Amino acid sequence: MLKYIKHKEKSFGKQLNYCCFLFAVVLFSGCKIHYSFSGASIPPEAKTVSVQYFQNNASLAPPTLSQTFTEALRDKLGSQTRLGLVKKDGDLNFEGTITGYATAPMALQSTDVSASNRLTITVNVKYSCAFDAKKNFEQSFSRFADYKGTQSLTSVENDLITTINEQLVQDIFNRALNDW
Residues 27 and 52 both lie in one domain:
no
CATH number, domain of 134, equals: 3.30.160.150
Domain of 15, in residue numbers: 1-33
Confidence class for position 72, pLDDT limits 50, 70, 90: very high
Q: What average pLDDT does the chain have?
A: 83
Residue 11 has pLDDT above 60, yes or no: no
Residues 148 and 90 both lie in one domain:
yes
Residues 85 and 153 both lie in one domain:
yes
Residues 51 and 90 both lie in one domain:
yes
pLDDT of the residue at 178? 86
Residues 132 and 169 both lie in one domain:
yes
Question: Using CA atoms, how far apart are residues 167 and 124, in angstroms rounded to an integer?
Answer: 14
pLDDT of the residue at 25? 39
Q: Per-residue DSSP letters for 11-41?
A: HHHHHHHHHHHHHHHHHHHT------TT---
pLDDT of the residue at 120? 98
- What is the rounded average pLDDT of the residues 122-133? 95
Question: Is the separation of the CB atoms in 177 and 145 below 8 Å?
Answer: no
List pLDDT tens digits, range 12-61: 555 655 544 544 433 344 433 333 444 567 888 999 999 999 999 999 99
